[in-house]
Amino acid sequence: MSKPSLLHVVKSVIAAAIGVQSNKNREIDFQHGSLPAYLVVGLVVTVLFIFTIVSIVSAVTGG
């Protein structure tokens, strides 16, 4: 198998973050994935998640 696509990396990071990553996909990630790609996507997903939570709380509290 070739290097995983960006879409595969994003889906894999999100699945792992919410705890539904399959064993098959995890094995593909470890065998064919690039650590820097997963770290960058993980960081971006985390920042977007935090920004979303802060925005929702700010909208609800009127701040």
* pLDDT score for 28: 87
Count of helices and strands (H, E) across the chain: 3, 0
User: 23-49 in b/e burial notation, b at 16+ Cβ within 10 A?
Assistant: eebeeebeeebeeebbeebbeeeeeee
Whether pLDDT at 62 is above 90: no
Where do the structural domains in the chain lie, given as residue ranges?
6-61
Is pTM beyond 0.85? Reply is no
pLDDT digits (tens, 9 = 90+) for 5-58: 999 999 999 999 999 998 998 888 889 888 999 999 999 999 999 999 999 999
* pLDDT score for 1: 62
Which is more confidently placed, 1 or 3? 3
Cα gap 3→38, rounded to integer Å: 12
